[in-house]
Amino acid sequence: MTQITLENLAHSYLPNPSSDADWALKPMTMTWQDGGAYALLGSSGCGKSTLLNIISGLLVPSQGRILFGDQDVTALPTLERNIAQVFQFPVVYDTMSVRDNLAFPLKNRGLPADQIAARVAEIAEMIGMTEVLNRRARRLTADAKQKISLGRGMVRQDVNAILFDEPLTVIDPHMKWELRTQLKELHRRFGHTMIYVTHDQTEALTFADQVVVMYDGRVVQAGTPQALFDTPEHTFVGYFIGSPGMNLLDAQIQGTEARIAGATIPLAHGYGPLTGKTQIGIRPEFLTLGTGDQGLPFTIRRIEDVGHHRIVRGQVAGSDVNVIVPEDQPIPADTNRVIPDASRAHVYRDDWRVDPLASERAA
Amino acid sequence: MDKPVNNRAWFLVLPVLALVAFSAVLPLMTVVNYSVQDTFGNNQFFWAGLEWFEEVISSDRIRAALGRQILFSAIILAIEIPLGIFVALNMPKKGVWASFCLVLMALPLLIPWNVVGTIWQVFGRVDIGLLGYTLSKLGVDYNYVNDAVDAWITVVVMDVWHWTSLVALLCYAGLQSIPDAYYQAAKIDQASRWKVFRYIELPKMQGVLLIAVLLRFMDSFMIYTEPFVVTGGGPGNATTFLSIDLVKMAIGQFDLGPAAAFSLIYFLVILLISFVFYTIMTKEGETL
C-alpha cells in the first residue's frame, strides 16, 4: 500500500497530438492518498478509464510520471505494479472453477496453498459464492461472473491499490447496493487505496470519501461529497452532482449585484469586473418560488412529484431553471418569480467558479 | 400460443429431398449396390454378399495403405495444428501488416491442388528444381523419386506448406474474438505468458480448433491429388495412400465390387475417427 502521485501526467491516443482536443487526458498533477476511498466521476468519454488504465499500467502515458510512494513506476509494466483492477464487464477464466478463478492471482504470486485456501474462502464468503466454489465459471450468470471478477480484484492483500472501472454496470440494483456496502466494509477493514470509476453520482457519493470529478480530460474538482454539492468549482460539477443539477443563468456581474434578464438580484459577496462568459449558478434547493416583482421572472412549465419533494421545471428568460419545493409547501398558481438564496449562489466565468474574496481584494 | 399444425407442409421439403436423393443418396446407394455384387461385364451382376468386404479387410496391400494413411494424418495434425496456432499467435492483430499477413496466409489456400503438386514436383527435382538442386549442391542426398523417406518428407512439407494457413487463419479468427479486457485482466492478475495461452487463448480457440482438426484430419486422410502428382504413389508403394490405391482399383483395374466395398469402409473409417475427435474435443472443453 502506498501513495500514488501523478506528475504532470497527460495522455493522447494519437501519435502526434496537436490541438487541445487530441488529448484524452490533459496535463494533471494530483495525489491519491494511501488508504483513501476515491470515486472518479464523470460522463462517458471524459478520460476516467484512460486515467485508471494509466495508473494500472495497461496504458503508458504520453507524458508525465506516476509515482508509487517514491518509486517512479511510469515505465513499469502492469505485472510489476502489483495493482488490482476490476473491469466494467466480467472477465472470468472459463475453464476454471470459481475457486480457481479466485485463487488465480494468489497462485501467480506463488503463495503457499493453505494461505490461498483461507483467503479464497474469506473472499467467497464476502461475495456470497461459498456454495458454488466448485462450479465451473463458464456457466454462471453475468452478475455472478462479475462478482468473481470483483473477488479476484480483492483477493490479494498486498496490492498497492484496487481500481474499479464501473464494476457494477451489469449487476442488478439490489445486489449493487449490497456489493457497494461490502466494498466499503472491505475498505474499512483492510485500508486499501480504492479508486472507483463511475458515471453514477449516487454510486460515487455513497462509496467515496473523496470524489474526483473529471470533465473533458481534466480533473475539474476533487473534494468531499459535501464540498462538491456546496461549492462546485466548475459548472460541470454543479450540473453533474445533484438531482436535478445546478441552474446556470447568463448574468452580468456588477460588484455585489447580478443582472439577469433585466432583473437585478443581490449577491452575498462583491466581485471585480469580470470578462468572458459570466454566469450565476444556484442549486434548485436554494431557490424559492414567489409572486410580485422580487427575484427573477419565472414561468412554470411542469411539476414533477418525486415523493419526498417536488421538482418545478420552468424558465427564466428562455433558460431552463429547476426549483425544488418541499412536499409541505404550496406552489401558488400565480407564481411568476424565483428568489435565489444569495449566500448559496456562485459566480462562474468561462465555466470556472470565481472566488469572491480574491476579486473583492482585487477591486 | 398454439402453433398451427399442417402436415401438408412436409411437401415443401420435397424439392430438397429430390435434389439430395439425385446428387447424394442414389450415387451412394449405387456404390452400396456394387459392393455386394460381382460382374463379368455386359451389365450382368451376381450377388456376392460380403465377399468384397472380406477381401478388402484381409488385403495386406490395403492394410499397408491404411497404415500409411493414419501415419500421414497423424504427422500432418501434429505439425499443422501447433504450427498454425503458433503462427496465429504471432500475426499482427491490427494495422496494415495484419491485412498483409492475412493475404499472404490465404495465398496457398487459393492454389488448386494439382498446381500445388506440380509446383512441388518441379521444386523438388534434383536436376532443375530450386529445392532439389540446392540440396544436392549442398551435399544432401535428396531424391524424392528414389528414396521413400525423401518422398514422405516432400509430401508432408508440401501439405504443411499448403494447409497450415487454414489452421492459422481459423485460430487467428478465434484469437481476434477475445476482448482486450481478458488480456488486461490477466496482466492485472500477474499471469505468465503461458498461463494467458493456457487459460484464455486456448479455451477461446476451442471451437475453431475443433473445426481445424476435423477439416485437416478429413482432408489429409483423403489426400489424393498432390502426392499423386508429385510421387505418383511411389517410390514403390511408399506414398500410395488410401485414395490413390482406391482410384487405381476403381478406375485403373475397373474392379468395381472391391472398390465399392473399399469406399464404404474408407467412408466409415473417416466417419468413426471424426466422431472420436469430435467427442474427445467437446468433452475436453467441459473438463478443460
Q: Per-domain residue ranges for chain B?
A: 60-287
Interface test with A, best of B187, B190, B196, B288 (most A CBs within 10 A): B190
- Inter-chain touch A85–B188, beta carbons under 8 Å: yes
Q: Are residue A47 and residue A157 in the same domain, yes or no?
A: yes
pLDDT bin (cut points 50, 70, 90) of residue A363 is very low
Q: Any idea what the CATH number is for the domain that residue A257 is in? A: 2.40.50.140
**pTM score:** 0.77
Task: Count how many domains chain A has.
Answer: 2
- Inter-chain touch A91–B199, beta carbons under 8 Å: no
Q: Are residue A73 and residue A183 in the same domain, yes or no?
A: yes
- B151-167: pLDDT as tens digits: 999 999 999 999 999 99
Last residue of a domain, one of A210, A240, A270: A240
In the predicted model, is pLDDT for residue A359 greater than 60?
no
Residue A19 inside a domain? The answer is no
Last residue of a domain, one of A207, A240, A273: A240
pLDDT bin (cut points 50, 70, 90) of residue B22 is very high
Q: Are residue A77 and residue A162 in the same domain, yes or no?
A: yes
- Average pLDDT of chain A is 85
Q: In this prediction, what percent of chain B has a pLDDT beyond 90?
A: 41
Q: In this prediction, what percent of chain B has a pLDDT beyond 70?
A: 98
The pairing of strands A25-32 and A4-11 is: antiparallel
**Interface confidence: ipTM more than 0.85:** no
Taking contacts as CB-CB distances below 8 angstroms, the residues of chain A near B179 are 89, 91
- Inter-chain touch A79–B184, beta carbons under 8 Å: no
Q: Are residue A79 and residue A207 in the same domain, yes or no?
A: yes
Q: Are residue A57 and residue A191 in the same domain, yes or no?
A: yes
Q: Are residue A66 and residue A202 in the same domain, yes or no?
A: yes
Domain B60-287 has CATH 3.40.50.300: no
User: What pLDDT, on the 0 to 100 scale, is given for residue B197?
Assistant: 93
Q: At what angle do helices B60-90 and B148-176 cross, to 10 degrees?
A: 40
Lowest mean pLDDT of A345-354, B8-17, B139-148, name the range: B139-148
DSSP one-letter string for A265-308: EEEEEEE----S-EEEEE-GGGEEEE-SSSSEE-EEEEEEE-SS
Residue B281 identity: M
Q: Are residue A279 and residue A232 in the same domain, yes or no?
A: no
Q: Which of B182, B192, B203 sits opposite A91 (nearest CB)?
A: B182
What average pLDDT does the segment B236-254 reach? 85
User: What pLDDT, on the 0 to 100 scale, is given for residue B62?
Assistant: 86
Question: Among candidates B206, B204, B186, which has minimal Cα distance to B195?
Answer: B186
Residue A138 inside a domain? The answer is yes
Residue A274 inside a domain? The answer is yes
Higher-confidence position of B29 and A363 = B29
User: What pLDDT, on the 0 to 100 scale, is given for residue B216?
Assistant: 93
Residues in chain B: 288
Q: Any idea what the CATH number is for the domain that residue A49 is in? A: 3.40.50.300
Residue A16 inside a domain? The answer is no
C-alpha cell, B228: 499423386
Q: Are residue A154 and residue A266 in the same domain, yes or no?
A: no
Question: Among candidates A9, A49, A25, which has minimal Cα distance to A195?
Answer: A49
Residue A299 identity: T
> Based on C-alpha coordinates, what's the Rg of chain B?
24
What average pLDDT does the segment B209-229 reach? 90
Query: N- to C-terminal Cα distance for chain A?
Result: 47
User: What pLDDT, on the 0 to 100 scale, is given for residue B160?
Assistant: 95
The pairing of strands A162-165 and A25-32 is: unpaired
Q: Which of B187, B199, B204 sits opposite A79 (nearest CB)?
A: B187
Inter-chain contacts counted by CB atoms under 8 A, chains A and B: 55
In the predicted model, is pLDDT for residue B17 greater than 90?
yes
Residue B285 identity: G
- A145-189: pLDDT as tens digits: 888 888 898 888 888 888 998 888 878 888 788 888 888 888 888
Domain span at residue A73 reads 4-11+26-240
**Which backbone phi and psi does A202 adopt, to 5 degrees?**
-60, -45
Q: Are residue A254 and residue A187 in the same domain, yes or no?
A: no
| Chain B residue with Cα closest to A56 | B188
Q: Which of A94, A95, A108 sits opposite B189 (nearest CB)?
A: A108
Taking contacts as CB-CB distances below 8 angstroms, the residues of chain B near A57 are 187
- Inter-chain touch A105–B184, beta carbons under 8 Å: no
In the predicted model, is pLDDT for residue A354 greater than 60?
yes
Lowest mean pLDDT of A9-13, A135-139, B283-287, name the range: B283-287
Q: Are residue A74 and residue A194 in the same domain, yes or no?
A: yes
Q: Are residue A204 and residue A119 in the same domain, yes or no?
A: yes
What average pLDDT does the segment B11-18 reach? 93
In the predicted model, is pLDDT for residue B279 greater than 70?
yes
Higher-confidence position of A355 and B266 = B266
User: What pLDDT, on the 0 to 100 scale, is given for residue A362?
Assistant: 44
- A204-243: pLDDT as tens digits: 888 888 899 988 888 888 888 888 888 999 999 988 888 8
| Chain A residue with Cα closest to B178 | A91
Last residue of a domain, one of A240, A260, A278: A240
- B39-69: pLDDT as tens digits: 777 778 888 888 888 888 888 888 888 999 9
Report d(CA A145, CA B64) in Å as an integer. 53
Lowest mean pLDDT of A79-83, B212-216, B268-272, name the range: A79-83
Kind and range of the H or E element at A39? Answer: strand A37-41
- Average pLDDT of chain B is 88
What average pLDDT does the segment B233-258 reach? 84
Q: At what angle do helices A142-154 and A113-127 cross, to 10 degrees?
A: 130
CA distance A23 to chain B (A): 22
| Chain A residue with Cα closest to B195 | A108
What average pLDDT does the segment A318-333 reach? 86
User: What pLDDT, on the 0 to 100 scale, is given for residue B77?
Assistant: 94
Q: Are residue A283 and residue A224 in the same domain, yes or no?
A: no
